[in-house]
Amino acid sequence: MSRPLLRASGIDVRFGGVHALRDVTVSVGPGEICGLIGPNGAGKTTLFDVVSGIRRPDAGTVEYDGTDITRRSPVWRARHGVRRTFQRQQLFGQLTVADNLVVAQDRRGGARSEARRRRERAAAVLHDCGLDALADSYAGALPVGQARMVELARALADPPRVLLLDEPASGTTAEERRKLAAVIRRTAEEENCAVLLVEHDVAFVMELCSRVVVLDLGRVLAEGAAAEVRADPAVREAYLGAGPGSAEGDPPDR
Ligand SMILES: Nc1ncnc2c1ncn2[C@@H]1O[C@H](COP(=O)(O)OP(=O)(O)OP(=O)(O)O)[C@@H](O)[C@H]1O
């Protein structure tokens, strides 16, 4: 990997007696799509909260393009290109799809030309995501699969440099997953964006990610090329729902 764009190192988070993350280190390079998988409660969302600035870690640092941003606010991080989606959708349901993308963009002055610029950017991103037809629909009225794509589009409303995707494919059809995968891949390749992808759909992760990190009980259990990780007996036992040599299965909920 070239110099990481994102590096979270030695991250520790406790919630009272629960040790949610223990000395976790994860790096993602520009243009890379790195998978972050693990059973329920492994600490994946907590790590996203730390990287996006919602939660201050008890120990460890978050570096962005070589700079320590551990103490920077979530707003600062978003303005500087660290963007995320949420496991539970956070769209503004009473706004249209286009307006969700307009309000997600950083303001650079209040002039009318600035409003036009944001509207044009929103339209361009919606077009790239195949969402033109939904621009004027209310976000709250969309079925889950379409809302997932809108949430991804909103994270792209200002060009991201680091993109944290928390279960973007949850509740989607095979066709919607194929479209989501295409947009994620294009964002990494064309924008040179570092993507960290949390997803329970292992096939989706394996198809998209060159490298995968496996968390279990707050620790990094394994890390490596997608195929290597998939074949790792410890990973198969802890997460993939299959012992060594047995048939591949979907991950169990734990
Ligand atoms: N706000 C909180 N207060 C107390 N415990 C928490 C809190 N948030 C998370 N936890 C605990 O921390 C651990 C890690 O949770 P986290 O949500 O990060 O896991 P996850 O890997 O994202 O799980 P899932 O796949 O179910 O989303 C779990 O044991 C969870 O119960």
Which residue has its alpha carbon closest to ligand 1 atom 28? 41
Asked if the model's pLDDT at residue 247 lies above 70, the reply is no
Ligand 1 proximity of 45 Cβ (cutoff 6 Å):
yes
Distance 43 CA to ligand 1 centre (A): 6
97 vs 250, more confident: 97
- Angle between helices 174-191 and 144-155 in degrees, nearest 10: 10
Alpha helices by DSSP H, 18-173 = 44-52, 74-79, 97-103, 112-128, 144-155
State if residue 46 touches ligand 1 by the CB under 6 angstroms criterion.
yes
- pLDDT for position 42: 93
Ligand 1 proximity of 148 Cβ (cutoff 6 Å): no
Where along the chain do its domains lie? 6-90+160-240
- From the number of C-beta atoms within 10 Å of its C-beta (0-12, 13-18, 19+), residue 191 rates as middle
Contacts of 175 (CB under 8 A, 6+ apart): none
**3-state secondary structure at position 131:** coil
Mapped onto helix, strand or coil, the DSSP state of residue 130 is coil
pLDDT given for residue 245 in this prediction: 40
Name the closest-CA residue to atom 26, ligand 1: 40
List, in order, residues 6 or more apart from 11 with CB less than 8 Å away.
21, 23, 24, 25, 47, 50, 57, 59, 60, 62
- pLDDT-derived band at 21 (thresholds 50, 70, 90) equals very high
H or E stretch covering 193: none
Query: Which of the four pLDDT bands, split at 50, 70 and 90, describes residue 237?
Result: confident
Mean pLDDT, residues 184-204: 93
Write down the pLDDT at residue 60.
Answer: 98
Q: What percent of the chain has pLDDT over 70?
A: 91
Question: Per-residue pLDDT averaged across 202-212, rounded?
Answer: 92
Joined tokens for residue 94? 């009473």
CA dist 55 and 24 (Å) reads 15
Which residue has the least CA distance to atom 8 on ligand 1?
A: 46
| Any atom of ligand 1 within 6 Å of the Cβ of 42 | yes
- What confidence tens digit (pLDDT) does each residue in 79-130 have? 999 999 987 778 888 999 999 999 888 766 667 777 888 899 999 999 999 9
Among protein residues, the one with the nearest Cα to ligand 1's atom 27 is: 40
Q: Where are the alpha helices (DSSP H) in the chain?
A: 44-52, 74-79, 97-103, 112-128, 144-155, 174-191, 202-208, 226-231, 233-235
The torsion defined by the Cα of 146, 149, 150 and 156, in degrees rounded to 10, comes to -170
**Across the chain, what does the average pLDDT equal?**
89
Q: Is the CB of 15 under 6 A from ligand 1?
A: yes
Q: Is the pLDDT of residue 235 over 90?
A: no
List the residue whose alpha carbon is closest to atom 1 of ligand 1.
15
Q: What are phi and psi of 115, to 5 degrees?
A: -60, -40
Q: pTM score, two decimals?
A: 0.90
pLDDT score of 9: 97
Strand partners, 112: none
Pocket test for ligand 1, best of 14, 22, 45, 89 (most atoms within 8 A of CB): 45
Interval between CA 239 and ligand 1 midpoint (Å): 16
What is the dotted CATH code of the domain comprising 6-90+160-240?
3.40.50.300
Ligand 1 centroid distance, CA of 45 (Å)? 7
pLDDT value at residue 244: 42
pLDDT at 48: 96
Name the 3-class secondary structure at 199: coil
Give 217 Cα–ligand 1 centroid separation in angstroms: 10
Q: Which atom of ligand 1 is nearest to the CA of 21?
A: 14
Distance 47 CA to ligand 1 centre (A): 10
If one compares 105 and 187, the residue with the highest pLDDT of the two is: 187
pLDDT tens figures, 42-69: 999 999 999 999 999 999 999 999 999 9
> Average pLDDT, stretch 170-175?
92
